[in-house]
Chains A and B, each alone.
Chain A
């Protein structure tokens, strides 16, 4: 009786020891990392550069005091003047998202969203598919008071044992009516690789 009970206890202990209590499934070589970590895998434009630019520009603009009364802003794509491929739309999207969160500005449909906006208005007003009282009327879109434009450029220098990349990101807010630049800021980043 004692031997049978002991065997049962041993089996129970072993079984509980083998039970997988981890919420992870799959290979141990794959890990989720910190999305906010400083990334220095190569010295090309990376996630840290994008995050630093968006953070610095957003805060500088939001705190400048130019955006009084939550004006409507039209964001243009950042011009990529570097020799690298950079998805500059992601920079503008990050800036837009962060500015939106601060509550200091509203955004008009930008050049890429405009076609979808026009298509939707046409569909609602011309197709005859929708209940009249629910249709969004044409001629009520709000025009932007400011436009936000930026560019990123780089200077790359190489020697036998050195590679230096200097990025300069510039952003300016222009009053559409007057054409006057109301705010402007720059962010400079230097990345160096020693071979």
Chain B
């Protein structure tokens, strides 16, 4: 199996005036195609920063991020945007749908950016897959939180990403809705064979992945294969 994400000696330091603040240090791990992984840790441990670096949303202070064989550190912001469009999908805690676009238009954006054809049909198929075909022309404000996150899932899978990054995907949802979204996420991920990186506080959700990386104070304190993997083995 090929390695999709390879993190080596990753470090991130912010400067407050002249005072450096290192929030991540010595991070090393790699994920293979189809892996699912949860990054867990207390608030302020650096998990979201790590997700941002892995997805090419930010630049590391030291070390390297190689995504699908592309070294992100040497790329410009626009080149990283191109990488994201080609290989990466995102799911955010607060859904991050574009409020001025309808549900179907939100799903179409990554496809249109790639210059694909029949994007409307593809987007409609995806909306149907998440159970929202009939609400395709609704704006985000006209949808409930769960529905918005389902549109977000459809959008995340629309460009057939190699790797999917999810930041607290159920953090803003009630338990029942959260479970439905979780199921949909894992089902879609399995169907597409996408590598999944999940940042969460929710240990129950983390247990559903193959691997849990625990972070504390900016360093990896444990990297374990989960019981789901052990049970399935």
A binds B: no
Q: List residues of chain B with CB under 8 Å of any chain A CB.
A: none
Q: List residues of chain A with CB under 8 Å of any chain B CB.
A: none
